[in-house]
Amino acid sequence: MAHQLVIVLDFGGQYNQLIARRVRECGVYCEVRSYKTPIEEIRAMHPIGIIFTGGPNSVYDEKSPHIGKEIFDLGIPILGICYGAQLMAYTLGGTVSPCETSEYGKTETHYNTSSVIFGGIHLPETAISWMSHTDYVSKLPEGFVNSAHTADCPNAAFEDPARKLYAVQFHPEVNHTFAGLGMIDSFVKNVCGGIGDWTMAGYAKTAIESIREKVGDGKVLLALSGGVDSSVAAALLAKAVGSQLTCIFVDHGFMRKNEGDEVEAAFKDSGMQFVRVNAKEQFMARMRGVSDPETKRKIIGEEFIRVFEQEAKKLGKVDFLVQGTIYPDVIESGVGDAAVIKSHHNVGGLPDHVDFKEIIEPLRMLFKDEVRKLGTELGLSPVLVWRQPFPGPGLAIRIIGDITDDKLEILQDADFIFREEIAKAGLDRDINQYFAVLTNMRSVGVMGDSRTYDYTVALRAVTTSDFMTADFAQIPYDVLAVAASRIVNEVRNVNRIVYDVTTKPPATIEWE
């Protein structure tokens, strides 16, 4: 079944994924593409709407990303956001100038609520929007009218309803913008004609049919980590191909404390063919002395594939390898002209050659919360659906610097205590991800009237709806105090605990 499609054209904006996620929240399928995507390709995709993202550049700089005027002649509704708004104005004959007063953060904005994208969404004439710009549209192109302003930005929004072209200087995709999701929904539904046909029930049906057609009578090997993504992928594949599927859990030795046994227990009675491979020594042999996080990820990605190839040979001919790659993995690993934030071991870390007919990634275009919804739709246990997110490389990227057996044991124990205290406090469903990091910093301490010179453990906990942006969790001090006290008293070679209070952006959720 073909779904309606909205394309997000990326001009280097930090919120490009978030825009796509918001469109999907409106029930319309959306993909992120580079601004360099050929016009013929865009036309062939038959999108019902196009959204231009923000970006860090100035449109009047010749080296900045630009787009041809012909895209505005396709007859497809377009929404420009921030840089995308300026680009629309500049390309169509308007003027973009440096701001006399730049705007950042929450900004009081005055709206013309008769605009089709501002009306009908309970938006008052004055409300808060989220700004982040040093340029502004000082003169509108012919045919456009103003639809919002601030004290320092006369054209905070503008539009040409006849051509279905809309632009906002602020960021409606960010939660700080009042009724921002309503604005996007109004554009997608009222301007583009979206009917909201994107659901996880529909996706499950289509994915199962597609997998069956692709696999035929071939054998399938699934890389099962026990995390949310691979568990949902396993449930999807089990429904699609049944006994043709073998799930292989590679315990690379970088799991959380007791986690290997917990994963095995969770799947042993699932009806799936489950194989556990204890490969700690094989992975550690390649990781010793490696400090660079990108190198760690690439080594682990390649070693994963090699282990699967070894296990596949024991099973006879296996045609397909399945991975639980999701959309944020793909985007953060760099797509088209997008910057590589970090190579995910199952995307940027794959070797050039793998000994399988094809790699199947049935969740590749889904965001994390969509994956959880899909898992629920498939009847997967809530314990697995709501399991704490855990990176494929595991604790290898939560140990800053080189990895040793001693460091691994220290981190496993510290992380276990932190997670245990979060659960005791009843915060485990309120905080979306929480974990410990073993830093490579040592400092002086005093324990038992003696001088120590030991490691610092960092605690990280975030709240987020989509893992594209995140805020640090405001854990009560008494909970942090108990966790810190237990770690320094129960875990050897640790004498200092710090708590990470950085949002995403500018940080990522993981440290490496």
Instruction: Return the pLDDT at 369.
Output: 85
| DSSP state, residue 491 | S
Q: How much is the average pLDDT of 35-58?
A: 95
The mean pLDDT value for 183-207 works out to 94
**426-443 per-position pLDDT tens digit:** 999 899 999 999 999 999
| First-to-final CA distance of the chain | 39
202-231 average pLDDT score: 90
Q: What pLDDT is attached to residue 361?
A: 92
CA distance 416 to 144: 58
5-191 has which fold?
Rossmann fold (3.40.50)
Confidence of residue 352 (pLDDT cuts 50, 70, 90): very low
Contact indicator for 212, 238 with CB cutoff of 8 Å: no
Query: How confident is the model at residue 347, as a pLDDT?
Result: 42
Cβ(66)–Cβ(91) under 8 Å? yes
pLDDT of 467 reads 73
**pLDDT over 50 (residue 350):** no
Q: What percent of the chain has pLDDT over 90?
A: 67
Residues comprising the chain, all counted: 512
- Please say if 66 is a catalytic residue: no
Q: For residue 333, give the nearest of 320, 343, 346 by alpha carbon.
A: 343
> Of 158-172, 192-206, 214-228, 374-388, where does the model show the most confidence?
158-172
Asked whether residue 340 carries a pLDDT value surpassing 50, the answer given is no
82 is catalytic: yes
Structure confidence at residue 314 as a pLDDT band (50, 70, 90):
confident
Confidence of residue 355 (pLDDT cuts 50, 70, 90): low
Long-range CB pairs of 309-317, under 8 A, 24+ apart, other chains included? 309/354, 309/355, 309/356, 311/221, 311/248, 311/275, 311/277, 312/221, 312/355, 312/356, 315/219, 315/221, 315/246, 316/219, 317/219
- 173-177, 279-283, 284-288, 326-330 — which is least confidently predicted? 326-330
Q: What digits encode the pLDDT tens for the residues 231-248?
A: 899 989 989 998 899 998
Active-site residue, 171 included: yes
pLDDT value of residue 404: 95
One-letter amino acid at 203 equals Y
Looking at per-residue pLDDT, the higher value among 81 and 367 belongs to: 81
Cβ distance 61 to 16 under 8 Å?
no
pLDDT band (50, 70, 90) for residue 332: low
Helix (H) or strand (E) holding 128: strand 126-139
Average pLDDT over residues 362-379: 91
Catalytic hit among 25, 133, 159, 171: 171
For residue range 103-114, what is the model confidence (pLDDT) as tens digits? 888 999 999 999
Residues 6+ positions from 269 with CB-CB distance below 8 Å: none
How many of the other CB atoms lie within 10 Å of CB of 135? Answer: 20
Determine the CATH number of domain 200-385.
3.40.50.620
More confidently predicted of 308 and 216: 216
Q: Which of residues 346 and 414 earns the better pLDDT score?
A: 414
**What does the domain layout of the chain look like in residue ranges?**
5-191, 200-385, 399-499
Q: Do domains 200-385 and 399-499 have the same CATH topology?
A: no
Q: Is residue 339's pLDDT more than 60?
A: no
* Mean pLDDT rounded to a whole number for the chain: 89
| Predicted local distance difference test score (pLDDT) of residue 1 | 56
Residue 58 has pLDDT above 80, yes or no: yes
Q: Range with the lowest mean pLDDT among 86-100, 324-338, 365-379, 463-477? A: 324-338
Residue type, 195: I
What is the model's pLDDT at position 348? 39
Q: What is the pTM of this model?
A: 0.70
In the chain, DSSP finds a helix count (H) and a strand count (E) of 14, 18
Written as one letter, the residue type at 243 is: S
Model confidence at 368, in pLDDT bands (50, 70, 90)?
A: confident
Residue 485: its pLDDT value, please?
97
Out of 26, 30, 82, 247, which one is annotated catalytic? 82
As a CATH number, domain 399-499 is 3.30.300.10
121-136 pLDDT, tens digit each: 989 999 999 998 999 9
Residue type, 26: C
Q: What is the dihedral of CA 183, 188, 190, 195, to 10 degrees?
A: -130
Please tell me which residue in 25, 103, 159, 173 is annotated as part of the active site: 173
pLDDT at 331: 67
pLDDT-derived band at 466, boundaries 50, 70, 90: low
Residue 171 pLDDT more than 60?
yes
Write the pLDDT tens digit of every residue in 384-412.
888 888 888 899 999 999 999 999 999 99
CB 118 within 8 A of CB 183: yes
271 or 178: whose pLDDT is higher?
Answer: 178
Q: Which of 283, 273, 220 is closest to 250 using CA atoms?
A: 283
Q: Give me the half-sphere count of Cα atoms (radius 13 Å) on the Cβ side of residue 446.
A: 1
- Which pLDDT score, from 0 to 100, does residue 13 have? 83
pLDDT at 317: 81
